[in-house]
Amino acid sequence: MIRRTTLDEFIITGQRSMQDASGEFSGLLRHLGIAAKIINRVVNKAGLLDILGLDGGINTTGDTVQKLDIYANDMMIEYLRNSGICAGVASEENEDFIDFYDRNLLRSSYVVVIDPLDGSSNIDVNISVGTIFGIYKRLSHEDRRLEKRDFCQRGSELVAAGYVLYGTSTMLVYTTGRSVNGFTYDRGVGEFCLRHPDMRIPERGKYYSINQGYSQSFSAGISRYLDHCARQNKALRYIGSMVADVHRTLCLGGIFLYPATRSNPEGKLRILYECNPLSMLIEKAGGKSVNENNERILDLEVNELHQRCSIIIGSVQDVDEAMALIG
């Protein structure tokens, strides 16, 4: 029987390879993994517990809140707060960031941004959902309270990013800026085990992913590209959970697009919680991520916690082909 490297072992090995590593960053990654296990357990039992359906609220960016959104958000914040090694967190579900200054005896260098449950509207019909996270090194002094600028950094400043996909199997995929590695959750031993080391996205794929229900609101350039995809007999695949769509793109190649529309002229997805972390991960796997103006997502200036943008992400050749047609 082959023994698989666990997430904890992988993180510790990585820490040993870094000079002057304090263990703070490694500990933060491990706590994110623990929170993911708890959320995974509840997602798998969602049909048996009273946590399906709408909560009745609207979050700070105008999206309808699901009961599981609240649970996943509370769980991630609780584990990060209790870790003692996270300075604070900004979540898609909260209007403002949360400062852990009063709870931390040791002043932490790192802050975390999260989309606690991406695609949560799919959970009622048993379709894959996910958690997205990014880690930044804070800009303010460790002995002071956090400031908005600690979170509103360019994606190029991320020190780690990843996602957890709750599907037919549960996977945690992350990068610290070197390689991209995928871990599958083994329920028998209760650990994430390394199954996909050094993941690389194909240079080209046969799939494109976009919500064509908004086609009448897309720009002429996006419509031109979609016509091209139809002529080339490209296969359309769209799940409605960015984590699931990007995971397929990472594994099989292709392109994922979430362009601007008339109702969301700047785009709908959040830079901090969705676009930056997934862009870092795709780039480190050999892919590319830009907005409709062909600007690199990771270079975009971030001024607000819930700032939005358009995104075109995936295999290099597919993204370049799309941008040549979008203009």
Which of these is catalytic: 32, 80, 115, 269? Answer: 115
Given 8, 24, 63, 124, which residue is catalytic?
63
The mean pLDDT of the chain is: 90
Predicted pLDDT at 64 = 63
- Residues 320-325 have a mean pLDDT of 98
Q: Of 211, 279, 287, 290, which Cα lies nearest the Cα of 251?
A: 287
Q: What is the dihedral of CA 270, 274, 280, 285, to 10 degrees?
A: -140
- Among 93, 150, 245, 283, the active-site one is 93
Residue corresponding to tokens 């799940």: 239
Instruction: Tell me which of 4 and 135 has the higher pLDDT.
Output: 135
Q: What is the pLDDT of residues 98-108, one digit of tens each?
A: 999 876 656 78
CB 238 within 8 A of CB 210: yes
pLDDT in the model for residue 18: 59
Q: Is 69 a catalytic residue?
A: yes
Residue 298 annotated as catalytic: no
Q: For residue 23, what pLDDT is reported?
A: 74
pLDDT, tens digit, for every residue of 222-267?
A: 999 999 999 999 999 999 999 999 999 999 999 999 999 999 999 9
Residue 122's pLDDT is 74
Cα gap 314→320, rounded to integer Å: 10
118 is catalytic: yes
Instruction: Give the pLDDT score at 1.
Output: 58
C-alpha count within 13 angstroms, C-beta hemisphere, residue 207:
19
Among the listed residues 308, 290, 265, 303, the one whose alpha carbon sits nearest the alpha carbon of residue 115? 308
Please pick, among 68, 118, 165, 305, the residue that the annotation labels catalytic: 118
- Give tens-digit pLDDT for 5-24: 999 999 988 876 655 556 78
What three-state secondary structure class fits 256?
Answer: strand
More confident residue, 73 or 64: 73
Q: CA 194 to CA 44: how far, in whole Å?
A: 21
pLDDT of residue 61: 57
Residue 90 burial class via C-beta count within 10 angstroms: exposed 0-12, middle 13-18, buried 19 and up = buried
Given the residues 80, 117, 158, 250, the one annotated as active site: 117
The larger pLDDT score, comparing residue 148 to residue 168, is at 148
**Which CATH code for domain 7-196?**
3.30.540.10
Average pLDDT over residues 81-89: 91
Above 70 in pLDDT, residue 59?
no
The residue annotated as part of the active site, out of 92, 245, 292, 318, is: 92
- Cα–Cα distance, 196 to 215 (Å, whole number): 36
Catalytic option among 274, 283, 292, 318: 274
The count of other CB atoms within 10 Å of the CB of residue 171 is 22
Fold (CATH) for 207-326: D-Maltodextrin-Binding Protein; domain 2 (3.40.190)
Residue 256 φ/ψ region, left for φ over 0, alpha for ψ in the -120 to 50 degree band, beta for the rest: beta
pLDDT in tens, 172-211: 999 999 899 999 999 988 999 999 999 999 999 999 999 9
Residues near 36 by beta carbon (within 8 Å), at least 6 away in sequence? 131, 164, 170, 172, 192
Domain residues of the chain, as ranges? Answer: 7-196, 207-326
Report d(CA 316, CA 318) in Å as an integer: 6
Separation CA 289–CA 94 (nearest Å): 26
- Indicate if 63 belongs to the active site: yes
Helix (H, G, I), strand (E, B) or coil at 117: strand
Asked if 295 is an active-site residue, the reply is no
Q: How far is CA 308 from the centre of its chain?
A: 14
DSSP labels, 139-206: SS-TTS---GGGT---GGGEEEEEEEEESSSEEEEEESSS-EEEEEEETTTTEEEEEE-S----S--S
| pLDDT more than 90, % of the chain | 75
What is the per-residue pLDDT for 103?
67
For the whole model, what pTM was predicted? 0.93
Residue 243: predicted pLDDT = 97
Task: Supply 42's token pair.
Answer: 């509840």
